[in-house]
Amino acid sequence: MHPNNRYTGPHDFHDLAKYVPKLASFFTTTPDGRNSLDFTSSEAVRLLNKSLLVRDYGLQHWDIPKGNLCPGVPGRLDYIHALNDLLQDDTNKARTQDAKRVKEHRTFGLDIGTGASLIYPILGLKEYGWLMVGTDVDATSLRVATAIAQFNPGLKQGVIVRQQPDPEAIFRNAILPNEYFDFTMCNPPFFASAEAATAAAQIKWDKLGVKTGPAPTLNFGGQANELWTAGGEPAFLRRMILESTEVYRQVGWFTTLVSKKGYLKIAEQEFKRHRITDTKIIGIGQGGKVRRVLCWRK
Ligand code: SAH
């Protein structure tokens, strides 16, 4: 985890339950007597993340429909810190050239596929004061995300939820004429079909040793349509790189999470095809869950 991540230590579940009392009904005890949580329950995972947002980010209204992708806040925060490092690098270089301009500049970020939870805009705004636009194609996600932005203290002024009307488009319609974003970010839909998403859920449940009925769901939640896109993550990645060449003057850094190392090869080919040479890969996460943030600009 990033050294600035506030969740590097273990969670204090008792403390968190003060903010979301229902969390206590999912308490368990580990074999060595420590207080823990029933992580096989998607409801417990949802309440845990809710309690982090309530306690640490002052949210008052954050609820996502059952079955929607529940963000693991600590992991999402790592991407935000990685972006800050990326921007800071540039700022440090620029500072010597034009200190005043740099100081006055507010950072603008665009989150592609923000989901019902609005997680990245919330964290970007609350951790670093970035002004964020979040897009999505899914009607339910848009409705819920809009409500979260509207009804929580401080979010209204810093977060805009924007509908992407064309599921084939990524930056088109998302970036308006005359807008400039210091960065774009994305946690892409990664499965190629609803069936693949279901199969992955089954594997996950098997690993946890939980017997499921005929239609298992991922324990981090996730509606089938949230988690899949035609062609899966590789196709999404290709489209994103292609479309980035149409709006590169309006964006400082394009970035996206890449779930599998092998997909970096695909990105490399696309970069070559579009003559993109300024690229970076930042590793985030820890242990078995290392992920990559791919960054590029033209
Ligand atoms: N950012 C959230 C949700 C990620 S899931 C999180 O990290 O938890 C991926 C999201 O991308 C889904 O909400 C899905 O509806 C959305 N999506 C799929 N295609 C899209 C497109 N072309 N433009 C914007 N969002 C899209």
Please tell me the distance between residue 199's alpha carbon and the centre of ligand 1 in angstroms.
20
Judged against a pLDDT cut of 70, whether residue 209 lies above it is answered with no
Furthest C-alpha separation in the chain: 62
Confidence of residue 290 (pLDDT cuts 50, 70, 90): confident
Task: Please give the single-letter amino acid code of residue 119.
Answer: I
> What number of other Cβ atoms are within 10 A of residue 71's Cβ?
26
Residue 123: which domain range? 72-297
Tell me the residue ranges of DSSP E strands in 107-178: 108-112, 131-136, 159-163
Residue 58 lies in a domain: no
285 vs 172: which has the higher pLDDT: 172
Which residue, judged by its Cα, is nearest atom 8 of ligand 1?
71
Judged against a pLDDT cut of 50, whether residue 166 lies above it is answered with yes
Helix (H, G, I), strand (E, B) or coil at 132: strand
89 vs 179: which has the higher pLDDT: 179
Ranked by mean pLDDT, the top range of 14-28, 201-215, 230-244, 280-294 is 14-28
* Bridge partners, 108 (sequence order): 131
Percent of the chain scored above 90 by pLDDT? 73
Residue 95 lies in a domain: yes
Residue 80 lies in a domain: yes
- Helix, strand, coil shares, percent, the chain, to 5: 45, 15, 40
Q: What is the pLDDT of residues 69-88, one digit of tens each?
A: 889 999 999 999 999 999 99
Burial of residue 289, with CB atoms counted within 10 A of its CB: 0-12 exposed, 13-18 middle, 19 or more buried: exposed
Please tell me the distance between residue 282's alpha carbon and the centre of ligand 1 in angstroms.
21
- pLDDT for the residue numbered 97: 61
Residue 13 lies in a domain: no
Judged against a pLDDT cut of 70, whether residue 229 lies above it is answered with no
Residue 245 lies in a domain: yes
Q: How far apart are CA 74 and CA 20, in angstroms?
A: 17
Residue 294 parent element (H or E): strand 291-297
Judged against a pLDDT cut of 60, whether residue 253 lies above it is answered with yes
The structure's pTM equals: 0.89
- Strand 291-297 with 278-284, pairing: antiparallel
If one residue of 64, 69, 111, 168 were mutated to test the ligand 1 pocket, choosing by the most ligand atoms within 8 A of its CB, it would be: 69
- pLDDT for the residue numbered 188: 94
User: Tokens for 177?
Assistant: 């004429």
Please tell me the distance between residue 194's alpha carbon and the centre of ligand 1 in angstroms.
14
Please tell me the distance between residue 266's alpha carbon and the centre of ligand 1 in angstroms.
20
Mean pLDDT of 12-34: 96
Residue 54 lies in a domain: no
If one residue of 135, 226, 237, 254 were mutated to test the ligand 1 pocket, choosing by the most ligand atoms within 8 A of its CB, it would be: 226
Which residue, judged by its Cα, is nearest atom 11 of ligand 1?
113
Q: If you average pLDDT over every residue of the chain, what do you get?
A: 88
Residue 66 lies in a domain: no
- pLDDT for the residue numbered 214: 47
- pLDDT for the residue numbered 90: 83
Here the CATH number for the domain that contains residue 188 is: 3.40.50.150
| Whether the Cβ atoms of residue 71 and residue 52 lie closer than 8 Å to each other | no
Provide the domain count of the chain: 1
- pLDDT for the residue numbered 190: 72
Mean pLDDT of 149-155: 94
